[in-house]
Amino acid sequence: MTNAPEPLSLVLVGPMASGKTSVGRRVARRLGVPFIDTDKRIVAEHGPIPAIFAEHGEPHFRELERAAVAHALREGGVISLGGGAVTDAETRHLLRSQPVVFLTVSEEAVADRLRGGTRPLLAGDDPVERWKRIFAERRGWYEEVASASFDTSRRPMQRIADEIVAWRREQG
Ligand code: S3P
């Protein structure tokens, strides 16, 4: 009897606009596993993120996010988390012993990606300045939960995805 290889799962974390969704989709396709974006799951169940923040506040969003992460981890696949998921201690606890990849991006590269966005935490003047401050506050948490990091600033997303797939396969 031959055993089919275990499907390879992994989690992507990183700041807003670091490419988690674009890279994640490609990694999932290459690994032949489902792609799960926890933000999309939250929106599908609870409506748009800016409305959740406005009506119920960020702590409520973090609770919904924690539940979405727990659910996604039970299902398996390539799981992309919102940039702030790591701010929640229980969510960080859920990520222990998971293969977690931290996507980094430079300030210069992020400026273009943030144009025209609707992220509530970047609303107002100078979204890049806000992004920088938030990233600086969270960097330690990304490093705490992740076992590898890849920079998405300048290279084609497919190349980065291929490197992550190679890394994941090495982990076994
Ligand atoms: C957030 C990031 C967003 C989304 C929400 C809050 C954050 O996801 O979860 O707006 O706190 O950094 P992306 O990282 O996909 O933008």
Give DSSP secondary structure letters for 117-170: ---GGG-SS-HHHHHHHHHHHHHHHHHHH-SEEEE-SSS-HHHHHHHHHHHHHH
| Per-residue pLDDT tens listing for the chain (172 residues) | 556 667 899 999 999 999 999 999 999 999 999 999 999 999 999 999 999 999 999 999 999 999 999 999 999 999 999 999 999 999 999 999 899 999 999 999 999 899 888 899 999 889 999 999 999 999 999 999 999 999 999 999 999 999 999 999 999 8
- Rounded to the nearest angstrom, the distance between the alpha carbon of 5 and the centre of ligand 1 is 33
Nearest atom within ligand 1 for CA of residue 50: 10
Binding-site residue positions for Mg(2+): 21
- Rounded to the nearest angstrom, the distance between the alpha carbon of 169 and the centre of ligand 1 is 28
pTM for this structure? 0.95
